[in-house]
Amino acid sequence: MKQALARLDIAAVLRDAWAMAKRDRDVLIGVCGLLLLVPQIALAMFVARPPALPSNAEETSAWLAAVQAWSQVYSLPVIALSIILLFGSATVLFLYLDRDRPTAQGALLQALALLPRVVLLSLLMSFPVSLGTLLLFLPGLYLQGRLLLALPLLIGKPSMGVIAAFTQSFRLTRGHGLILMGLACITVLMGDILALPFRSIGAALAGAPLANPVVAAILQVGAAAGVTIGMVTTLLIQVALYRRLNKGM
């Protein structure tokens, strides 16, 4: 384990991720365009953003009512699209981590078979990460960094259980918590940063003469593309980390 700790080089991880993106550009565009970009466009176009957190305690009851109203309208499409996004993420990871080097079609079938466990792992990870983010933000980023290997472990070792993938990610990332917290900033924030210009322009044009359906659609597609690029970057970073930290297992 000490040797593995010494070999972790974040700059090298990012170089590996970039090399994969350049080498496999055509496949990534095809798979991610269908299974990541399209659901993100649907989320941007047809699902309103949830109510912002209240600024003070007096607004809590009104915020809870607004969240309940939002959930009644959008919870089912959000769940369905989120599952498709997990399916797409698992497919990309299978393309890289399956030792048999499957075709895109083979990776799709494998991801479909493993999807229930992928969804379960996502739910298991989301609770502590969301709680840590709500409490102080930095604990959420720290947990996000420590759990970057959980999904790759589940995909790379299909016989591994959900709990085992969760705990093994913590074991393999022991000693790298702070540097992976920094890396998690990229994986968590990159998509939102890329989407921010499109969302800001859309907010600025709301109600203005230029705010017509065509302009709105272009901005929503741009925002969805930004989020998708962030997702693909996260997946490739996870692959690179898995290959460096999982040696010898």
- pLDDT score for 213: 79
- pLDDT score for 58: 74
Give the position of tokens 């994969």.
20
- pLDDT score for 3: 41
Confidence of residue 204 (pLDDT cuts 50, 70, 90): confident
* pTM, entire model: 0.89
Is the predicted pLDDT of residue 199 greater than 80, yes or no?
A: yes
* Least-confidence region, from 100-104, 133-137, 242-246: 133-137
What does the pLDDT look like over 121-131, one tens digit per residue? 999 999 888 88
What's the rounded Cα separation, in Å, for the pair 75 and 31? 26
DSSP H or E segment with residue 196: helix 177-205
Per-state percent for the chain, helix, strand, coil, to nearest 5: 80, 0, 20
